[in-house]
Amino acid sequence: MDKIFLYAGLALCALMLASLYRGVFGPTVLDRLIGVNAIGSKTTVLLVLVGFLFHREDMFVDIALAYALLNFVAVLAASRYFQKRGGLG
């Protein structure tokens, strides 16, 4: 079962590269913001997978939830900032 979690984590890391490309080279600010948010969401899932690999699900789920909350608040703050500045559209 550990190999399944390991391969799923590696596949998730490979998928994060597409989001990284969109976050760095996005044509608009909104594309970059969505790319960074997608990386944060995939990192949350990756933290849970790491918890399953180390057989410490309780600790890593707590860390993943805290990271997801920080990611959500950061994206809300950034989108509000760009909306007030007039850079989103």
Residue ranges per domain, the chain?
2-85
22's tokens: 């969109």
| CATH architecture of the domain formed by 2-85 | Orthogonal Bundle (1.10)
Q: Which residue type sits at 18? A: A
Q: What is the pTM of this model?
A: 0.84
pLDDT tens over the chain, length 89 residues: 889 989 999 999 999 999 999 999 988 888 999 999 999 999 999 999 999 999 999 999 999 999 999 999 999 999 899 888 876 65
